[in-house]
Structure 1
Amino acid sequence: MSTTTTVKCLGTDCQNEAGALQCPTCLKLGIKDSIFCSQDCFKKNWVRNAYLALENDHKALHKVASGKTANGILDHIRTPKVISKPDPATGLYNPFPSYAYTGPLRPVYPLSARRTVPSDIPRPDYAETGYPKSEMYLNRNKFDILDAKGQEAMRKVCRLGREVLDIIAAEIRPGVTTDYLDEICHKATIERKSYPSPLNYNHFPKSFCTSVNEVICHGIPDQRVLLDGDIINLDVSVYHGGYHADLNETYYVGDKAKADPDSVRVVEAARECLDEAAKIIKPGTLIREFGNVIEKHAKSKNCSVIRTYCGHGVNTYFHSPPNIPHYAKNKAVGECKPGMTFTIEPMIALGKYRDVTWPDNWTSTTIDGKRTAQFEHTFLVTETGVEVLTARLPSSPGGPVQMPVAQNSTNGSA
């Protein structure tokens, strides 16, 4: 007995069966099953969806597949145009010596080889190709509601994510490299029969993100040694049982960082901003309200809120609707409903909220080089409120630090 299947049109919100119209660019790039029902439907999906600067259209798939750009959440790393000569003694070098860095931090190359994942560990669709095709055609106005089975799967993967983050955080100290931390992350993840979600997501080269000092997010682990006085954000995401967990925290490196009033102010402000936003999560809360709460608290600490990056839905997709801005008076649509899982991940800066990106097309830094901090949880909306799926444990490293007595403030304020 045989069965027949029909191919659906790839047009967003289109329920028609696909016809014979195939995208010519997709054919050149080797993307299969790119079939539409009509020329009009194809044209509609060619237009850019500018909502929150996220591309969710057919043209975006071409950019990712050809390695030119990504879908607005993470970008593709390219071969540097300018490479300085490696130090004869160490072999280390700055790959972008002519770039006008906004702060004192510099990348330290070469990057280590891409870490491998055992073949028996299930992986997301982008693990081999480098682009998350399934995310390209999500309806940005449709929010996933998980059933009891899905919610339990999210609880499990988020517990694993918390374990991995805590293992890495325990290794933070002056003298270790961020590449070493990436190795710890990778090993801890695969030991839990999980896949490190960032690895090869739009060709990201590492297993998690390490963002130091003025780096807002998406810092690439490299050969730079952590210094006493640094602050570092560890952004961990794991894929297990078909679901993703996503969480991050900012930590102090050494006692010098805990004694710096500016570093403590921005780190604790970011921590508190996430806590304040979490307090209002319940059925019926409007998505746009989180930004109002976050920016109000950030301003009370004389800090600013980064606007380029947002929280997002997370479940079987690494990044899915809703998009959750962290700044006030935003235009986000929708409301919280029981069964929704999403992240809130405010990025808070001492100075201006604008950002720039290094030539690696990943590392996002503050435009004025001042320090920034971030915290992130994955949340589950319940019938009565919220469950923090990635909550800290009593044994978790890090945690709040009291404001030291100000002496010589060096980092400035907003």
Structure 2
Amino acid sequence: MIEILTAAQVDRARRTGALVGDILHSLKERSQVGTNLLDLDRWTAEMIRDAGAESCYVDYAPSFGRGPFGHYVCTAVNDAVLHGRPRDQRLEDGDLLTLDLAVRLDGIAADSAISFIVGESRPAESVDLIETTERALAAGIAAAGPGARIGDLSHAIGTVLSDAGYPINMQFGGHGIGTTMHQDPHVSNDGRPGRGYQLRPGLLLALEPWIMADTDVLVTDDDGWTLRSETGCRTAHSEHTVAITEDGAEVLTLPSGAR
């Protein structure tokens, strides 16, 4: 299903997006050396509840996972990149942490992810991974607007990733979003320009370039959810929910202070 939202629904999506951005910003500030991933999950649940919102993850049970996700935020550390299930693990200096969050507020969902380094260390490989996904996300957003094709966005994202020398996995990518978290159209992280669905005002898309340093092969943890690089290399993931407008694409999931 491809859902086109009304102007009133897009306005509600702005509020949801701001909430997602603010929660992620708060979690990043709290992610210090020694912070437990389960505490990040607990804090997320509290912030969602206090906002009168609902989690898109806690009861999420797609075909590729093992039962309901059962947590409120995805916490992927170092070689983990997608669907990182919170566990009893304390962050260490130099860890590359990805937080991925989706919530629904007033019936509209928003989805975003950030990757960053914990503590004082700044490993060059981790910095490059993060910066590359952020540049790819910016390129995808810049290519979005009324009349553009999904392939234009995929091509813009993929060009940044491949020019930086990273392999691209095509199993998971961006997606439509609206009254539910995952909708059509699928937005691959590489593709051919001029192909695919033509974007219209009122369409919401979650764009999410992600990469692994030296492989495009994923392996699944015993928890049935957490996806890691096959080689154990580091990974990064950046995501925003955007609304297609009459003039272009509006990023909805920036924290309030960045608007």
Asked if these proteins are the same fold (TM beyond 0.5), I'd say yes
**Cross-structure match for 1:189:** 48
Deviation per CA, 1:365-405: give whole Å up to 9, x if none. Answer: 11111111001100000111111111245469xxxxxxxxx
C-alpha contact (below 8 Å) 1:178/1:225 kept by paired residues: yes
State the secondary structure of the residue aligned to 2:90: coil
Distance apart, 1:195 and its partner CA = 0.9
Residue 234 (1) aligns with residue 126 (2): no
**Cross-structure match for 2:81:** 216
Distance across 2 between alignment mates of 1:208 and 1:201: 11
Distance across 2 between alignment mates of 1:211 and 1:254: 16
Equivalent in 72, 78, 83 of residue 207 of structure 1: 72
Pair 1:157–1:331, CA change in 2 (3 A): same
**Cross-structure match for 1:318:** 181
Residue 266 (1) aligns with residue 126 (2): no
State the secondary structure of the residue aligned to 2:31: coil
Distance across 2 between alignment mates of 1:241 and 1:302: 42
> How does the TM-score come out when normalised to structure 1?
0.59
C-alpha contact (below 8 Å) 1:379/1:386 kept by paired residues: yes
Equivalent in 325, 328, 341 of residue 204 of structure 2: 341
Pair 1:395–1:329, CA change in 2 (3 A): closer
C-alpha contact (below 8 Å) 1:246/1:376 kept by paired residues: yes
**Cross-structure match for 1:24:** none
C-alpha contact (below 8 Å) 1:298/1:305 kept by paired residues: yes
Distance apart, 1:295 and its partner CA = 1.7
Fraction of identical pairs, as percent: 27
Deviation per CA, 1:307-342: give whole Å up to 9, x if none. Answer: 211111111011111111112349973111111011
**Cross-structure match for 1:378:** 241
Distance across 2 between alignment mates of 1:363 and 1:241: 29
State the secondary structure of the residue aligned to 2:120: helix
Distance across 2 between alignment mates of 1:281 and 1:392: 21
C-alpha contact (below 8 Å) 1:307/1:354 kept by paired residues: no
Distance across 1 between alignment mates of 2:35 and 2:98: 15
Equivalent in 57, 62, 68 of residue 198 of structure 1: 57
Residue 391 (1) aligns with residue 254 (2): yes
Larger relative CO (CA 8 A, sep 6+): 1 or 2? 2
C-alpha contact (below 8 Å) 1:325/1:332 kept by paired residues: no
**Cross-structure match for 1:173:** 32
Deviation per CA, 1:261-291: give whole Å up to 9, x if none. Answer: 1111111101111011111111111102222
Counterpart residue type for residue 23 of structure 2? V
C-alpha contact (below 8 Å) 1:304/1:349 kept by paired residues: yes
Distance across 2 between alignment mates of 1:201 and 1:297: 31
C-alpha contact (below 8 Å) 2:18/2:255 kept by paired residues: no
Equivalent in 100, 115, 120 of residue 255 of structure 1: 120
Deviation per CA, 1:114-134: give whole Å up to 9, x if none. Answer: xxxxxxxxxxxxxxxxxxxxx
**Cross-structure match for 1:162:** 21
Matches within 5 A, 1:82-97: none
How many residue pairs end up in the alignment?
A: 253
Distance across 2 between alignment mates of 1:331 and 1:279: 15
State the secondary structure of the residue aligned to 1:335: coil
**Cross-structure match for 2:65:** none
Counterpart residue type for residue 171 of structure 1? R
> How does the TM-score come out when normalised to structure 2?
0.93
Unmatched segments (≥5 aa) in structure 1: 1-138, 397-414
Pair 1:349–1:194, CA change in 2 (3 A): same
Distance apart, 1:206 and its partner CA = 0.5
C-alpha contact (below 8 Å) 1:306/1:346 kept by paired residues: no
Distance apart, 1:359 and its partner CA = 2.3
